[in-house]
Amino acid sequence: MDYKALAERLFPEGTPTIESIEQKYPPRSLEKGAEVTRLAPSPTGFIHLGNLFVAIANERIAHQSGGVLFLRIEDTDLKRKVEGAVEAVISALKYFDIHFDEGAEIGGDDTYAPWYQRQRAEIYRAYAKKLVEEGRAYPCFCTEEELTALREEQTSKKETTGYYGRYARCRNLSEEEVFEKLAAGTPYVLRLRSMGDPEVKHKFHDEIKGDITVQENDQDIVILKSDGIPTYHFAHAIDDHLMRTTLVIRGEEWLASLPIHIELFSALGFPLPHYGHNCSLMKQDGETRRKLSKRKDPELSLEFYRKEGYYPRAVKVYMLTLLNSAFEEWYMKNPEAPLESFPFKVSKMSKSGTLFDLDKLNDISKNELARLSEHEMFAFLKDWAEEFGTEAQKGYFADEEKMLRVLALCMGVGGKKRRKDFTTASQAMEFIRFFFERPVSREPYRCEKADRAGILSDFLKSYSPEDDSAAWFSKVKEIAGRHGFAAEMKDYKAAPEAYKGSVADVAEVLRIAATGKANTPDLWTILQILGEEETRARIEGECK
Ligand code: GLU
């Protein structure tokens, strides 16, 4: 076979020379040890926790080593392309403080641009041509139907499926047959002519999984589809080489394709970057553990965290906890340190499925939010409400001073111990709603109706917003005494049968009447914030 002639026939348009491409994308001049990492999503519009997981690892490694993190968009599959998906990736990651140095819609040093694979078609074609010239790639004219029949045959014989070895029919077409088919305009894809033998196994060092065994590839995989567009395998190999990626951290779903990638890099004459395959995120589902699923688990989507209003740092802390076994202890010792100062190590990443637990994240969120000042909380909630809140919620921020008092109270600012009532922005906004809107429903009163009405009207008679907390509480105690409730807890404890209840029950009645809830932060302060008129209006409504 005259491979040179075949290459000319397949790529008549003339492609740039390999030398010119290599020159255009020279090795990066970075300090020794600096890692070049990337995120290479397909623009499907769905950005998930797994992406964030990988992004955090890639970001840490790049920036900790003085290297580069870039964003490449793998848009070779047009069917999956969604408008605005690239901006969505960037903004979703920015929320978690992941910044790219270069890439699609980022700008930065454009030596290695373009970052959209569709704009790099000429480059892939140049390398494809080179492989044809060297006899390492060939056109395959098999139709979909033929490939389906082949797969069925292999399945029924319980053999490995795919286009390989003796099944790779077009691999051995004669020169005449090939040129005839081309002349007839038969559609074709371009396939790698694999030289591997799956019986041969090699040791491979995965940066995350450690030493693993990888068998050689023997699949003649498609490198260019019939429309001339490359497959992921082919495009990523060329891009990672030319963009001078040193470390590829990607999801473990790609581990199965590693033999293909090893062979492709070698056929193309490229040094192999380091690879680390990150374990999948699992979820405990009853007795079993399973992968997080797009269909069943809303928490897989990064949108979920923004809509719920998770505090970005909390999600990041949890992700780092899952990503690096040493993180939790480090964070306990360095709670104030910037997360970037944690010495992140790829080798400390978990080797097998990591359990993702929303309850654990919620605990971390509570702790993180409890560290904010009321001003920081104000800014965080306001941003959230502007994007996701109801009109009423947006209105809560109109009176800044009131909101700051509410937040300081609910967060226990200045108290002996911080309160941990807030988990997310959406939950916090719901929690503080009673300060801004009258309760439409109330938690049930435990107290008899007649007693309740008596307590509330009595309260209104003596209530004065001028009273300080102590004076206010002595009045509550007096009310308790007047209505058959123990004014002192110790009296009640000593003889519970002598009373209808205690002062705590009286306070609960007031609390539910004023706020709708049986549990709230300090009631006196709440009434101060509500103001006399509002307090009276709410309680009056419950006196009947
Ligand atoms: N485009 C691939 C994906 O969407 C990228 C995998 C990689 O990081 O190499 O998962």
What residues have CB less than 8 Å from 1, skipping those under 6 apart? 135, 174, 175, 178
Topology of domain 283-369 in CATH is: Glutamyl-tRNA Synthetase; domain 2 (1.10.1160)
What separation in Å is there between the alpha carbon of 253 and the centre of ligand 1?
10
pTM of the model: 0.91
What distances in angstroms separate CA 179 from CA 146, 169, 220, 225, one per listed residue?
Answer: 20, 16, 20, 19
As a whole number of angstroms, the distance between CA 129 and CA 67 comes to 33
What pLDDT, on a 0 to 100 scale, did the predictor assign at position 162? 98
Closest by CA to 434, choosing from 506, 509, 544, 538, is: 538
Phi, psi at 486, each rounded to 5°: -70, 130
Cβ contacts of 101 within 8 Å, gap of 6 or more = 62, 68, 69, 70, 108, 109
Tokens for 199, please give them.
């019986």
Note the CATH number of domain 3-15+121-278. Answer: 3.40.50.620
- Residue 355 Cα to ligand 1 midpoint, Å, equals 22
Ligand 1 centroid–CA 342 distance in Å is 26
Contact 511, 518 (CB under 8 A): yes
pLDDT for residue 298: 94
Residue 65 belongs to what H/E stretch? none
Contact present, 512 and 518 (Cβ < 8 Å):
yes
Per-residue pLDDT of the chain (544 residues; tens, 9 = 90+): 999 999 999 999 989 999 999 999 999 999 999 999 999 999 998 889 999 999 999 999 999 999 999 999 999 987 777 888 999 999 999 999 999 999 999 988 999 999 999 999 999 999 999 999 999 999 999 999 999 999 999 999 999 999 999 999 999 999 999 999 999 999 999 999 999 999 999 999 999 999 999 999 999 999 999 999 999 999 999 999 999 999 999 999 999 999 999 999 999 999 999 999 999 999 999 999 999 999 999 999 999 999 999 999 999 999 999 999 899 999 999 999 999 999 999 999 988 889 999 999 999 999 999 999 999 999 999 999 999 999 999 999 999 999 999 999 999 999 999 999 999 999 999 999 999 999 999 999 999 999 999 999 999 999 999 999 999 999 999 999 999 999 999 999 999 999 999 999 999 999 999 999 999 999 999 999 999 999 999 999 999 8
Ligand 1 and 40: CB distance under 6 A: yes
Decide: 316 in ligand 1 pocket, CB within 6 A: no
Cβ of 236 below 6 Å from ligand 1? yes
Nearest-atom number in ligand 1 for the CA of 240 is 9
Tokens read off for 5: 């002639």
Residue pair 316/338 in contact (Cβ under 8 Å)? The answer is no
Please report the atom of ligand 1 found closest to the CA of residue 41.
4
Interhelix angle 523-530/400-411, rounded to 10 degrees, is 170
Q: Looking at domain 449-543, which CATH architecture does it have?
A: Orthogonal Bundle (1.10)
Residue 248 Cα to ligand 1 middle (Å): 10
Helices (H) and strands (E) in the chain, counts: 24, 15
Q: Residue 54 CA: which ligand 1 atom is closest?
A: 8
Could you give the dihedral angle defined by the CA atoms of residues 388, 392, 393 and 399, in that order, rounded to the nearest 10 degrees? 140
Please tell me what DSSP assigns to residue 12: T
| Pocket residue to mutate for ligand 1, from 89, 208, 250, most atoms within 8 A of Cβ | 250
- Cα 151 to Cα 103, 156, 213, distances in angstroms: 39, 9, 27
What are the distances in angstroms from CA 246 to CA 207, 216, 252, 407, 521?
A: 12, 22, 18, 47, 53
Q: Smallest Cα–Cα separation from 86: which of 111, 59, 128, 118?
A: 118
Cα 411 from Cα 420, distance rounded (Å): 7
Residue ranges per domain, the chain? 3-15+121-278, 283-369, 372-435, 449-543
Cα gap 74→52, rounded to integer Å: 17
Same fold, 283-369 and 449-543: no
User: 4, 201, 294, 348: which is the annotated catalytic residue?
Assistant: 294
Q: Are strands 137-140 and 189-192 parallel, antiparallel or unpaired?
A: antiparallel
Q: How far apart are CA 117 and CA 74, in angstroms?
A: 6
Task: Give, to the nearest 10 degrees, the angle between helix 523-530 and helix 503-515.
Answer: 30
Please work out whether the CB of residue 50 comes within 6 Å of at least one atom of ligand 1. Answer: no
Cα of 40 from ligand 1 centre, angstroms:
5
User: CA 92, CA 47: separation in Å to the nearest integer?
Assistant: 8
C-alpha 224/C-alpha 76 separation (Å) is 10
Alpha-carbon distance 544 to 538, whole Å?
12
Would you say the CB of residue 209 lies under 6 angstroms from ligand 1?
Answer: no
CB 509 within 8 A of CB 456: yes
| Cβ proximity of 121 and 139 under 8 Å | no
Q: Is 349 left (phi over 0), alpha (psi -120 to 50) or beta?
A: beta
Cα 479 from Cα 470, distance rounded (Å) = 14
> CB of 75 closer than 6 A to ligand 1?
no
Is 320 near ligand 1, meaning CB less than 6 Å away?
A: no
In ligand 1, the atom with minimum distance to the C-alpha of 254 is 6
Q: Is the CB of 42 under 6 A from ligand 1?
A: yes
Q: Is 41 in the pocket of ligand 1 (CB under 6 A)?
A: yes
Which residue among 232, 260, 262, 275 has the greatest number of ligand 1 atoms within 8 angstroms of its CB, and so is best to mutate?
A: 232
Does 294 qualify as catalytic in the annotation? yes
